[in-house]
Amino acid sequence: MKLLTFFIVAFLLLFSCAFLLAQERVKLFGSDEYKDPNSFTIARMKYGGGGDWYWGRSAVPNMLDFLKENTNISVGEEVWVSIMDKELFEYPFLFITGHGNVFFNEQETKRLRNYLTCGGFLFVNDSYGLDGAFRREIKKVFSDKDLVELPSSHGIYHCFYDFPKGLPKIHQHDGKPPQGFGIFHEGRLVVFYVYESDISDGWEDPEVHQDPPDKREAALRMGVNIITWILGY
């Protein structure tokens, strides 16, 4: 009888913990659907500071179309969101691109850190001229962490499509080798920053940058890798 009582109590405790964790995730991300492939989308961040956060209007729609056509992930349409928007936690995948300045105020800095440490992810593409400002602002968000370069052996370069040399070079910029940097929280990649590569410009309509087909394909494939790595596929 005592053994039966023990198992009943243990079951109730486990059930209660699971319920509380589920409720916490709903509270943070707005619904329990954020890991559901049917609800996946890319949320473009509208940041302050004067930089062109809206750069490359065709990029995200094309990336989502490519993702839908080449994986079993169903996708929605691109959304635009600011850090302080109440809907922020409904979108686990944030995207920043553009040229020039980026600025997060104190409230935005705290909220972005909360978002990233509670399950969110930020992909940042330097479309040329974003590097200095982004590094300054992300250090405000994670003063205790550094951007570290991911080696070519990292799983993000091999999880769906194979990139033996790591991050592909899409646009020349200053002619430097492409680099992918990450910030980790409790072992999870929460920020992925690409420099001297310009992945998302390669997502745009072919006539925008006149990229060769192989470059554009590489950019879109790398986008699939980033998304599937974060989703755990």
Whether residue 18 sits in one domain with residue 103: no
- Quick one: tokens of 7? 């198992």
Whether residue 214 sits in one domain with residue 139: yes
- pLDDT tens digits, 31-83: 443 445 457 999 999 999 988 898 888 999 999 999 999 999 989 999 999 99
Whether residue 63 sits in one domain with residue 5: no
Whether residue 98 sits in one domain with residue 192: yes
Domain that holds residue 48: 34-231
- pLDDT tens digits, 99-156: 889 999 999 999 999 999 999 999 999 988 899 999 999 999 999 999 999 999 999 9
- Quick one: tokens of 131? 């590097």
Q: What is the CATH number of the domain that holds 101?
A: 3.40.50.12140
Whether residue 47 sits in one domain with residue 162: yes
Report pLDDT for 38: 53
- pLDDT tens digits, 181-225: 999 999 999 999 999 988 988 899 888 878 899 999 999 999 999
Whether residue 19 sits in one domain with residue 82: no
Whether residue 12 sits in one domain with residue 48: no
Whether residue 70 sits in one domain with residue 1: no
Amino acid at 181: F
Report pLDDT for 8: 40
Structural domains of the chain, count: 2
Report pLDDT for 209: 72
Dihedral pair phi/psi, residue 227, rounded to 5°: -65, -45
Report pLDDT for 128: 82
